[in-house]
Amino acid sequence: MKGLGVSPGIGIGKAFIIDKRSINIIKNYVNDVEGEIDRLKSAFETAKEQLNELYNKSIDKLGEKEAQIFKSHEMMLEDDTFISEVENRIKDEKINAEFALHETSNVYIEMFQKIEDEYLRERAEDIRDVMNRVIRILMGIFSVDFSDLDENSIIVAKDLTPSDTAQIDRTKVVAMITEVGGKTSHAAIIARIMGIPTVVGLNDITDKIKDGDMVICDGKTGKVLINPNKKQLFYYNNKKNIEDEINNELRNQIGLPSVTKDGFAVSLSANIGTPNDVDMALQNDAEGIGLFRSEFIFMNRERQPTEDEQFEQYKEVLVMMGDKPVIIRTLDIGGDKNVPYIDIPKEMNPFLGYRAIRLCLGNVEVFRTQLRAILRASVYGNVKIMLPMISTMKELKDSKKILQQAKDELTKEGIKFKDDIEIGIMIEIPSAAIISDLLAKEVDFFSIGTNDLIQYTMAVDRMNSKLSHLYSQYHPALLRLIKGIIDNAHNAGIWVGMCGEAAGDPKLIPVFVGMGLDEFSMNSPSILRSRYIVRNLSKKDIELIAKSTLDMENALEVEEYLSCVFADENENCLKRCKIRGKQE
Ligand code: PEP
Ligand code: MG
C-alpha cells in the first residue's frame, strides 16, 4: 500500500488502532436555554484549561514554537464572535449546546476547506480538533488515551489531531499512519519535529489493519506493509539499521566545523521562507541563513505588509540567529509567485517577464519600503542584502541608488541602521553569469541561484514536467557557467555562495567544493549530511574530478560519473560509466 510520506524514516512494530468513532451528535430541543449556555461556557473553560496544560507539557517535548499551536487553539475558544454565534443558535433554535456548536463550527470548517491555499485549507482541521474537544467535554466522552501503549507501537488512525500527536510518547511510538492529512498539516509538522516516521492519505487503513498486526511504515516512500513476510522484514530491518547508523553519525556533526580534510572551510547555511523556519535551521546547526525568501511574508495576504510589519519579521529572524549571517533576498515575485495587491499584467511568458528586481524597479515605493525595513532591522544582527534576477549592470546600479536613498531618508529621520551591510546579487540569469567579472566589482558577494540558472540556460520552464529531462543540474553547460562565476568572484576578491537546490545535492557538493565555492545554502534537513560529505573530502583530490565534469558531453554522463566516484565504489559501475580514465 502506498500513501504520502510526510515524515521520513522507517518504523517496524505492532499496530495500535485508535478508535475515534465519530461522535454521534444528536439535536435536542431544550427549555432551559440559559442553562444550556452555562453548560457551553463551562465546557469552553474546561477545554481552555486542558489546552493550557497541553501547552505547558509540550514546551519541553516540542519546543516553544510548536507548543504555540495549543495557545492558538486556546485563542480560538476566546473568539467572541464565534461564541455569540453559538449562543444565538441555542437561543433562537432552542437546541442543545453540543448540536449548536457542531453546526456553527461546520460552517467555518467548510469555509476553510474551500480556500485554495493548502496551508490555510488545512487549518480547518485545527477548528475541528478544538471544537471536538469541547463537544467531547459536553458529552462526557474522554479523549484518546495513549498511556497504555506498548513499545514499538505504530499508531493507526483515521486522523490525528495536533493535540493527539503532541501527547505521543516518542520512546514507544515508532511510526504513525493516517487516512487523512497533508504535508503541511500541523500533525505532520509535529511528527517531523519529533522524528516519527509518518504516512498519511491511506484510505480505509483503519479497516485494513487490525490491532496487533505487524506493520512496516516507510515515511519517506509512503509505503506501508501489513504482516510482512520474512524477506520483507529482513529488507526493511536492514534498511532501518543503515538509516539509524547514518542519522546517529549525522547528529555527531553538530558543532563540528564544515572543513575538508585538507583544511578548506565552507559555510553551510539554511534557506528559509518565514521566521517560523529558523528553529529548524538552528536544530540542524545552520551556520547562517543563506537565503531568506522574503516574498513569503508578502504572500497569502490581502494587502502589502507595512514597513513596520516587515521590520518585525526581519528583526525576529536576526535576533534568533544572533551573530550568524542572515541574507535577506529582496522581493522576488512574478513568475509562479503572485500577490493580489501588486498588479502584474497577464504575460505570455511570466518567467521571462515582469519579475523580481524588474518589478521592484518599476514599483520603487514597494522596494524602498522593504529596504527601509531591512535597514532598520540591521542593528539587531548580521544582515546582508541580496538582489534577485539581476541581468544587467544598470539594474544593479539603479538598485544601489534606491538603497542609498533609503539610507539617506533614515539618516534624516534619525533612525539607526548599520552602514556597512554587505550587498550581494543572485547570479541566476546567464547574462549575469557571463558578465560576472564586471558585476563582481560592484558587490560584496554572489549567490548562485541554480533553480533559475538552469531554466534560463537550458531554455526550459522549471514548472514544465514534460521537459524535466532537460532541466538538469548536472549539465556541463551549467557547471561551466558556475565555474566561471566562482573564478570571476574570486578574481575580484569577493566570496560566492549558492542557494539553489543544487547546493544540497550530495553528488554535486564535492564538485562545487573542488571549484572553490565558499558557501552552500540549502533546506535545513540537508545540512548535517552535507557537512559529513565536506568533512570527508580533500579539496585537492576533488579539483581534478570537478574539472573533468566540464569536458563531458551531457548531464547523464556527469551524473553517472559522480554517482560512481562518490556513491558507488563498485568497479563494474565505474566501467559502465565509460569514464575513460578521467577519474584518476
Ligand atoms: C534559484 O533560482 O535558484 C533560487 C534560489 O531562487 P528561487 O528558487 O526562489 O527562484
Ligand atoms: Mg530564482
pTM of the model: 0.66
Q: Which residues pair with 274 in a beta bridge?
A: none
Band of the pLDDT at 184, cuts 50, 70, 90?
low
Answer yes or no: is pLDDT of 225 > 90. Answer: yes
pLDDT at residue 569 in the model: 40
Q: How many Å lie between the centroid of ligand 2 and the Cα of residue 445?
A: 16
Ligand 1: which residue has its CA nearest to atom 7? 451
Mean pLDDT, rounded, for 172-185: 82
Q: How many Å lie between the centroid of ligand 1 and the Cα of residue 500?
A: 5
pLDDT at residue 584 in the model: 31
Answer yes or no: is pLDDT of 132 > 70. Answer: yes
pLDDT at residue 186 in the model: 61
Ligand 1: which residue has its CA nearest to atom 5? 500
Ligand nearest to the CA of 523: 1
pLDDT at residue 576 in the model: 42
Q: How many Å lie between the centroid of ligand 2 and the Cα of residue 451?
A: 6
Residue 46 backbone dihedrals phi, psi, to 5 degrees: -60, -40
Ligand 1 pocket test target in 455, 478, 499 with most atoms within 8 Å of CB: 499
- Tell me which of 145 and 101 has the higher pLDDT: 101
Mean pLDDT, rounded, for 161-170: 71
Q: Which residues pair with 176 in a beta bridge?
A: 155, 198
Report the distance separating Cα 147 and Cα 129, nearest Å: 20
pLDDT at residue 307 in the model: 97
pLDDT digits (tens, 9 = 90+) for 321-376: 999 999 999 999 888 777 878 878 888 888 899 999 999 999 999 999 999 999 99
Ligand 1 pocket test target in 269, 277, 293 with most atoms within 8 Å of CB: 293
Q: How many Å lie between the centroid of ligand 1 and the Cα of residue 181?
A: 28
Band of the pLDDT at 58, cuts 50, 70, 90?
confident
Residue 371 backbone dihedrals phi, psi, to 5 degrees: -65, -40
Q: How many CB atoms lie within 10 A of CB 401?
A: 11
Q: Is 500 in the pocket of ligand 1 (CB under 6 A)?
A: yes
* Rounded alpha-carbon distances, angstroms, from residue 235 to 55, 215, 248, 338: 40, 14, 20, 46
Residues 6+ apart with CB under 8 A from 226: 1, 15, 208, 209, 213, 214, 215
Answer yes or no: is pLDDT of 399 > 90. Answer: yes
Report the distance separating Cα 101 and Cα 97, nearest Å: 6
pLDDT at residue 54 in the model: 84
Ligand 1 pocket test target in 291, 386, 425, 451 with most atoms within 8 Å of CB: 451
Rounded to 5 degrees, what angle do the CA atoms 277, 278, 279 make?
95
Q: How many Å lie between the centroid of ligand 2 and the Cα of residue 330?
A: 11
**Which residue among 217, 360, 499, 564 is the active-site one?**
499
Ligand nearest to the CA of 498: 1
Answer yes or no: is pLDDT of 579 > 50. Answer: no
Q: How many Å lie between the centroid of ligand 2 and the Cα of residue 510?
A: 23
Bridge-based pairing of strands 153-157 and 173-178 is parallel
**Mean of the per-residue pLDDT values for the chain?**
88
Q: Is 293 in the pocket of ligand 1 (CB under 6 A)?
A: yes
Ligand 1 pocket test target in 428, 446, 471, 498 with most atoms within 8 Å of CB: 428
Q: How many Å lie between the centroid of ligand 1 and the Cα of residue 357?
A: 13
Cα pseudo-dihedral 478, 393, 266, 507, rounded to 10: -10
DSSP code per residue over 81-132? HHHHHHHHHHHHHTB-HHHHHHHHHHHHHHHHHT-SSHHHHHHHHHHHHHHH
**Which residue among 186, 217, 475, 577 is the active-site one?**
186
Band of the pLDDT at 203, cuts 50, 70, 90?
confident
Q: Is 335 in the pocket of ligand 1 (CB under 6 A)?
A: no
pLDDT at residue 465 in the model: 63
- Collapsed DSSP state (helix, strand, coil) of residue 20: coil
Secondary structure, 3-state, 376-407:
HHHHHCEEEEEECCCCCHHHHHHHHHHHHHHH
Band of the pLDDT at 386, cuts 50, 70, 90?
very high
Mean pLDDT, rounded, for 473-478: 96
pLDDT digits (tens, 9 = 90+) for 229-275: 999 999 999 999 988 888 778 889 999 999 999 999 999 999 988 88
Answer yes or no: is pLDDT of 22 > 60. Answer: no
pLDDT at residue 580 in the model: 37
Answer yes or no: is pLDDT of 112 > 70. Answer: yes
Answer yes or no: is pLDDT of 378 > 60. Answer: yes
pLDDT at residue 511 in the model: 97
Q: Is 295 in the pocket of ligand 1 (CB under 6 A)?
A: no
Percent of the chain past pLDDT 90, that is, above it, reads 59
Band of the pLDDT at 145, cuts 50, 70, 90?
low
> Which among 133-137, 342-346, 543-547, 577-581 has the top mean pLDDT?
543-547
186: annotated active-site residue? yes
Percent of the chain past pLDDT 70, that is, above it, reads 92
Band of the pLDDT at 143, cuts 50, 70, 90?
low
Mean pLDDT, rounded, for 202-212: 89
Closest atom of ligand 1 relative to the 428 alpha carbon: 2
